[in-house]
Structure 1
Amino acid sequence: MLFPTVDFGIFFLIIFSVSWFLRERADSRKLLLLVSSYFFYGYWDWAFCLLLLFNAVVSYGGGLLIDGAGSDRRRKQVLALVVTVDLALLGYFKYAGFFMESLRELFFRIGLERDLPILEIILPVGISFFTFQSISYVVDVYRREIHATRSFSDLALYISFFPQLVAGPIVRAAHFMPQLEATPILTRLMMGKGLFLILIGMFKKMVLANYLATLYVDEIFIAPEQASSFELVMAVYAYAGQIYCDFSGYSDIAIGIAALLGYHFKRNFNQPYRSASLQEFWTRWHISLSQWLRDYLYIPLGGSRGGTVKTYRNLFLTMFLGGLWHGAAMTFVIWGTIHGLALIIERLLKIRRFVEHGLGRIVGVLVTFHIVCLAWIFFRANSLELALAYIEGITLGTTDIYLFTPFVAGLIALCAIGQFVPERSYERCYWTLSKAGTVGMMIIFALGMVAIQQIAPSGTAPFIYFQF
């Protein structure tokens, strides 16, 4: 079930109405949200609900065993088992087909033709996100940052909560589960926040991202050898805008829906293309994933402890594995490698001292943005060969224009302007919207949705991060 559809609109109106009717009955409300979350996920394929349920059972049992273990060794053993099970399932669905195909190709090249099975594995939507939430829960219990919950339904709801189930943001149990115990309150400000974030998220996805994709980006990346250097560069800029609007648009909608249900999620994007360094970029882009990688991968690897060489190794491994998380392909590995090497070079050159103010910051923003765009070429390309052909085409220096139009230029410019409006503009917007009152907010929201529907291209494209 996709957010920008009539089906979801009807689904959410029912859940919104009934959940607030049950606001004084906590157990009934949570059961409603749990069942509706499984219905939402099962709308794609009901079989995957069993995977979601199995994930919750493993995390619940693991948390209780860790909490009740009498020794650190026992706690570590249970933690290792739970994390292994979670990662094994994730690895099977995301990488088994790739490795089987690679093995078949290897056997063919060395003359050992084998009839290996062809694995037709359907990737469950959102498996990476709910797996990461499950791992963070058991790790936090192990670290004694939270106590294991005795309520299976609470944990199952935390893992499956439908607004952020399939594409984030990644929510921590310590932040979300205490909210389940409190009586929800929908203030006028929360309503303004929810409605504004849904509107801006829909505009980003349905208008900006979809137009950039259908009018320009998809055409150029399918056959980069047929485009001029100018159009190739413009298409990278357009893709930078598309993936930001697509992904941050989903996060905005998810956070807005959660707010309308009475729950607070932290912001997941914060104008990342205004960053003056890669380190700053990763504090603004997909913030929940960046923090997850920092807390559950970079720090366990050793973080910045153990000297300079080990710090650089840990940085590189974190970004390398972050790239591999997106998919079993060399393009994603190179994307992660570019970011890892750039972060190391920044530390070696002590870039942060030179990009804090004035001209240095302007140069830092331009350099950082173009490093990110270079990495986006590999992220977007369907194969390593196409990515290399794309870069080769840019170096030719041709300036012919075939697909680039003033409308596309305007879309790119609008994406760029959004990165440099004053910080906390979102907060000012939904505070202003809340002043219109409940009826006024509903009218503004309805008019906004109609306007978006009218100006958006036809069709409903899935969000990019559904594939991860």
Structure 2
Amino acid sequence: MLFPTVDFAIFFVAVFAVAWLIRPWHLWWRVFLVLASWFFYGFWEPKFVLLLIGSTAFNWAVGRDLARMRGPEGLDRFGRWFLGFGIAANLATLGWFKYYGFFVKDVAGLIERFGVDLPLPLLQITLPVAISFFTFHAISYLVDIARGQCEPLSPLDFALYLSFFPHLVAGPIVRVTEFAPQIRAPFRDRVIDAAPAFTLIVAGLFKKVVISTYLAGEIADPVFASPGTHSALENLLGVYAYAVQIFADFSGYTDIAIGCALLLGIQFPQNFDQPYRAWSLQDFWRRWHMTLSRWLRDYLYIPLGGSRGSKWFTYRNLFLTMLLGGLWHGAAWTFVAWGAIHGAGLVIEREVRARNRWLRGTAAKAAGWFITFHVVCFAWIFFRAETFGAAWHVITRIATAWGEPSPAATPLLIAVIAGAIAAQFLPRDLFRRFEVTYSELAPAAQAAMLAVALVLIDALGPEGVAPFIYFQF
């Protein structure tokens, strides 16, 4: 059930209406949202609802026992082993569904190089939608309990936390300490601040349906499908277009998710903050998929040792974090390469700063932005390409195919790409000022503006909408 579809519109209107009516009955409000979330998840493949319910039951039980084991000094040795068991079980489930085929093929290929014919069972395993995201939520819940940062939730509250449908499929990754306080206390009234929610939903729909879909169909998909039939300029524009596409696609999803959650009375953390205006890779990761960045920092980088050791120990931890972050995105070495590029770039940045060679001033920051943007775009080539060969083909065409005709490089395409990148530099509070202005209008005017915006999005968008890119992760 994709957000920009009639199916979801009908589903959400029904859920919102019922949730609004039963808000004063806090228990039934939570029960209803859990059941609605399970229905939403089962819309893709009903049998995987059992996987979500099983993950909920298992992690709630582990979290309850971890809380009992935690003493004034934290977990004892057995408690740490039990925490490790809980994390390992979650990762094993994720690994089975997401990485089994990937590793079996690689192991089989490695064995064959030594002349050993050992056929390994290659099973056709369907990847459950959202398994990475609810696994990350579950792991953070267990670790936070072990650290004493939160108390275990009731079974119902934990089920709602893990399965709440606006963030279930593609984030943002919400901490239990951010979510639980909002569902514990009963609502005092049925008043909902709808203006920010509607503006976020419309902005998200525009990004996804108009910008992302246009760039994908016009240049990004054709270039990555067949780099050799496109000129250097078209390949370069294809890379730039994909950079804008994935931002518009993912931030568009996040905007819709945050807006839908607001209408249901839940506030999510911000997930994007104009990432393509970043002047360093460190700055980029403070702005791109911010909830994932914090998750990787708190549950991977810091447990690895963080920056508590020597300089090279810190660099190792930083590189491994990004490498594993790349692997999390998909069962392919191209994703590992994407993570390695970012990890190496972050290490180089730190080393340059450590040697006091980090340039300052407006011109230096402009140069930093240019370099950062193109390192990010270079990494996106591997993220988007199906194979290393395909990625290398795009790179070589950009380097060698100048002077060839570029019929796909239309003025409209260039304007959309340039405009989308330039929009990253607009004042941060511009959108907030529009929200305030919109909220001050009369309800009839708000409804009219919303209707006009939706009609324009529908008119500018294509027939049908492709799944969000991050659904595959």
Q: Same fold per TM (> 0.5)?
A: yes
Partner of 1:208: 211
Shift of 1:109: 3.9
Partners in 2 of 1:387 and 1:211 — Cα distance? 22
Name the aligned partner's letter for residue 415 of structure 1: A
Shift of 1:356: 5.6
Partner of 1:345: 348
Partners in 2 of 1:228 and 1:370 — Cα distance? 19
Q: Structure 1 residue 244 and structure 2 residue 247: aligned?
A: yes
Partners in 2 of 1:142 and 1:439 — Cα distance? 51
Name the aligned partner's letter for residue 37 of structure 1: S
Name the aligned partner's letter for residue 183 of structure 1: P
Partner of 1:32: 32
Q: Structure 1 residue 381 and structure 2 residue 385: aligned?
A: yes
Shift of 1:439: 3.5
Partners in 2 of 1:141 and 1:153 — Cα distance? 17
| Structure 2 segments unaligned to the other structure (5+ residues) | none
Shift of 1:410: 2.0
Correspondence 1:1-400 to 2 at 5 A: 1-69=1-69, 72-149=76-153, 151-184=154-187, 190-350=193-353, 354=358, 357-400=361-404
Q: Structure 1 residue 442 and structure 2 residue 454: aligned?
A: no
Partners in 2 of 1:299 and 1:68 — Cα distance? 25
Shift of 1:213: 0.3
Given the superposition, is the C-alpha separation of residues 399 and 260 from structure 1 closer, same or farther in structure 2, using an over 3 Å criterion? farther
Alignment: residue pair count: 466
Shift of 1:75: 2.1
1:198–1:256 CA contact under 8 A, matched in 2: yes
Range that drifts further, 100-109 or 60-69: 100-109
C-alpha root-mean-square deviation of aligned residues, in Å?
1.6
Deviations 1:386-416 (A, max 9, x none): 1111111111151330322122112202211
Partner of 1:419: 424
Name the aligned partner's letter for residue 199 of structure 1: V
1:67–1:147 CA contact under 8 A, matched in 2: yes
Shift of 1:183: 3.2
What is the TM-score of this pair, normalised by structure 1?
0.96
Shift of 1:59: 1.2
1:186–1:261 CA contact under 8 A, matched in 2: no
Partners in 2 of 1:132 and 1:355 — Cα distance? 37
Match of 2:425, SS state, is coil
1:269–1:285 CA contact under 8 A, matched in 2: yes
Name the aligned partner's letter for residue 53 of structure 1: I
Partners in 1 of 2:156 and 2:457 — Cα distance? 37
Given the superposition, is the C-alpha separation of residues 408 and 187 from structure 1 closer, same or farther in structure 2, using an over 3 Å criterion? farther
Range that drifts further, 253-262 or 407-416: 407-416
Partners in 1 of 2:271 and 2:399 — Cα distance? 35
Partners in 2 of 1:280 and 1:173 — Cα distance? 26
What stretches of structure 1 move > 6 A for 4+ residues in a row? none
What is the TM-score of this pair, normalised by structure 2?
0.95
Partner of 2:437: 432
Shift of 1:84: 0.6
Range that drifts further, 251-260 or 103-112: 103-112
Deviations 1:412-463 (A, max 9, x none): 0221122111012222221221111433323322221111011101111000
1:167–1:465 CA contact under 8 A, matched in 2: yes
Shift of 1:354: 4.3
